Amino acid sequence: MLRKFAIIGHRAPSSGKLNLNDLAGSCGRMDVLSRAINTALFLSHGIREDTEVMLHLMGGPGPARRILFQGSRLRGVHPDERAIAGQIGKALREPVPSIGHFIELHPGFLHSGGNIEQTIIEWKRDNVELCVLDASGELFEPKSHSQEKIGFLLSDDQPFSANEVEMMENLLVVSLGEKWLQGHSCIAIIHHLMDSQ
């Protein structure tokens, strides 16, 4: 089953220059986002070919940008938060492509314009089962999800905005427990649960 993760970086810059020495501060918590990407894609000795990550950079300046990491094709990205942020920084120096039009910067590393609404539209069109991760949802049980593709929507260190909640109002809300966990921890638990099936 193909696993997809859509991660929203509310303050993460969509253009400009990243300060790799201050990922937690001036870069809109790029450390949190890079950690989530690292957890989603990398194993101790290798990469998860059954996983894709769509990172949403919403903090400007300029239009929102999405960066797609495809585990099955990804090359040139190393399992290190600073290295992942460095690759994202290279994309930020490029013009934001038009919404829905993906440009490949190197194998398995693409970018496009758009926000979470655009990702939801694309995933629905691609028959992806959509799940919003939220502590208040119903307990996630992999055996009850049988489609070939499943997608999880996560926020960064901030809750989903009211506008984002409205975009997701008809989607299934799933939980990994009553406590609010960090995004990368949620991703690790999802992988463990699905690997165990």
CATH number at residue 154: 3.40.1280.10
Write out the residue range of the structural domain in which residue 136 sits: 2-195
- Structural domains in the chain (count): 1
CB-CB contact of 130 with 119 (8 Å): no
pTM: 0.95
Strand partners, 151: 4, 130
Tokens describing residue 82: 């600073």
Show pLDDT as tens, one digit a residue, over the chain (197 residues): 899 999 999 999 999 998 888 888 888 899 999 999 999 999 988 999 999 999 999 999 999 999 999 999 999 888 889 999 999 999 999 999 999 999 999 999 999 999 999 999 999 999 999 999 998 899 999 888 878 999 999 999 888 999 999 999 999 999 999 888 899 999 999 999 999 98
CB-CB contact of 142 with 99 (8 Å): no
Q: Is 32 helix (H, G, I), strand (E, B) or coil?
A: helix
